[in-house]
Structure 1
């Protein structure tokens, strides 16, 4: 199994990033890249992407413990690690990735800007995103300050900018707006926060809990408070229509393992959290302190349901922010294969 890291778009303005993303998406789906598109080659490894966040819990445990690679029918597996969703989606549409755990924001963006080829085939995790601030105890106190998100256009970036807009604050990646939103990788967000270079950030767990523990401050917004019944998808599983058609048995095998991991989490939350922490420690070189792990997991919920109503609302938020020209995400979710692998044996 190979594990590689990828970062993208960290120094781009909103307009530059969206232009680059559209170009990559259009060219990636329209042509075969050298060494990239595995097509229907049954002997090619299944290329899986995920992030080293506990919001990708099933992926962390499934990879580290070997549950994915050991699943009958999955064949060879090539695992790639990303920092944020847009970079992973660039790889997916370019044909260098087959399936990924990703946030709904980049999934929606890719679906609408890259020929509606992407498919959400399962939910994974709900909740687990927060806005942590150093001194600000209200939205008004953020004016004139710098706040970070993991990447322009990622799920937390959309949530942050939409929330700021609702508070009457203009956000931009360049100086001069009410709030300057800076794209940084999650580890860099933590370092900049601890050093006092930024006021705060809207981040997935465990980075929110780590920011509070290592740098002080408070959680200004728990994103669960912004959604009906506190439920919104933080992580879903995506692939493309082509991969579903050409590599269906391997994707089904991956989903079988994913379902078992999700059921294991529900049955033994504390034990699963410990397994996630062990996996996180291997990727991040150090496991989370028990108190941070407990705090971070308190805001997470395993879910095979991708919460389609929340997906539609996220698309509306992205359109309002100028990320999208349309909010029509009909056809994005395809749970047929998930329902097949969950069906009891006849």
Structure 2
């Protein structure tokens, strides 16, 4: 099995780069490339690769490649250009590209949960009501974790960010830097994806203010989704079914063998990023994540509506047709 790993994949958990792949019309010499990010919500991709699950479900003779990505935009571009045939990505990029006219479908989920709101211990924050005038950080403006935090604050506490002339100051930065920023006092609050929330807890630089179940869409919104192109669905639905079957096998393996799946995640993340997460960090992060392939179009639409209500999307989104559950039913 061929793996494609670029030289830029070092240093940080979020620094992942893509390679390339293709699909041939001749089923006997087919080549399928699967993309994912080496992070905790994409463990199904790591398990499928480590356990060689795609070769179990794809037609005999199929060559399977893997690509690792730095961000959702790069992933979706690779999907649209045919450099990859399917894989795991965050729901935001999938929805954004769909509403921009991309012919893509979400055919399964990857996981749910994993977003945590954390506060600096000496910032005089006892509850979210104390965040007026405080500085919070998110990975990017309007990203999944940003929307989850701002929807919670607006809907439950009537607080908004300075992006819309609100009371909270918003900055952006990589989650790997949050622990140091808490330690130096540069931020008061962060909306943190796992495993960085568990890493920060272990470092002791911040405390949990709002845990995953109480964040907006915390346990229902897919933190990762499995996508493919509409062209592949139309031209070769049997191939898509074989691809999704392998993803389902990987998800069921994680559910049935969590300890082995954790070991695979630690080793694969280290192999790709040259960073090793401790077993205690993985254990804590695991408790906040549910690995599932079931996906709800209704929850995705509600999340998209929140993005619009917060002003991250100019137009009211319509996700009708984005989710195709026929391959998991």
- Normalized against structure 1, the TM-score is what? 0.77
1:221 aligns with 2:210: yes
1:75 aligns with 2:62: yes
Give the 3-state SS of the residue equivalent to 1:3 in structure 2: coil
2:277 to 281, 288, 295: 288
1:63 aligns with 2:29: no
The Cα shift of 1:119 comes to 0.6
Give the 3-state SS of the residue equivalent to 2:33 in structure 1: strand
Summarize the alignment of residues 43-192 of structure 1 with structure 2, pairs less than 5 Å apart. 45-68=31-54, 71-73=57-59, 75-115=62-102, 117-135=103-121, 136-166=125-155, 167-172=157-162, 177-192=166-181
Give the 3-state SS of the residue equivalent to 2:328 in structure 1: helix
Contact 1:86 1:151 in 2 (8 A): no
Unaligned runs of 5+ in 1: 7-34, 340-346
Contact 1:132 1:201 in 2 (8 A): yes
The Cα shift of 1:94 comes to 4.8
CA deviation profile, 1:75-115 (whole Å, cap 9, x unmatched): 33343323443443344345544323122222222211225
For 1:80 and 1:55, locate their aligned partners in 2 and report how far apart those are by CA, in whole Å: 16
Summarize the alignment of residues 24-39 of structure 1 with structure 2, pairs less than 5 Å apart. none
- Normalized against structure 2, the TM-score is what? 0.80
Aligned partner of 2:318 in structure 1 is: 328
Summarize the alignment of residues 237-276 of structure 1 with structure 2, pairs less than 5 Å apart. 237-276=226-265
Over 3 Å counting, the alpha-carbon distance change for 1:229 and 1:137 in structure 2 is closer
For 2:81 and 2:166, locate their aligned partners in 1 and report how far apart those are by CA, in whole Å: 34
Over 3 Å counting, the alpha-carbon distance change for 1:168 and 1:107 in structure 2 is same
Contact 1:264 1:272 in 2 (8 A): yes
For 1:107 and 1:318, locate their aligned partners in 2 and report how far apart those are by CA, in whole Å: 14
For 1:85 and 1:297, locate their aligned partners in 2 and report how far apart those are by CA, in whole Å: 22
For 2:206 and 2:62, locate their aligned partners in 1 and report how far apart those are by CA, in whole Å: 47
For 1:40 and 1:76, locate their aligned partners in 2 and report how far apart those are by CA, in whole Å: 10
Question: What is the alpha-carbon root mean square deviation over aligned residues?
Answer: 3.1
Contact 1:83 1:186 in 2 (8 A): no
Q: Report how many aligned residue pairs link the two structures.
A: 309
CA deviation profile, 1:4-43 (whole Å, cap 9, x unmatched): 469xxxxxxxxxxxxxxxxxxxxxxxxxxxx989576556
Aligned partner of 2:328 in structure 1 is: 338
Aligned partner of 1:232 in structure 2 is: 221
Contact 1:149 1:203 in 2 (8 A): yes
Contact 2:35 2:75 in 1 (8 A): yes
Unaligned runs of 5+ in 2: 10-18
Contact 1:147 1:179 in 2 (8 A): yes
For 1:189 and 1:90, locate their aligned partners in 2 and report how far apart those are by CA, in whole Å: 29
Aligned partner of 2:288 in structure 1 is: 299
Contact 1:49 1:97 in 2 (8 A): yes
Over 3 Å counting, the alpha-carbon distance change for 1:190 and 1:249 in structure 2 is farther
Over 3 Å counting, the alpha-carbon distance change for 1:173 and 1:193 in structure 2 is farther
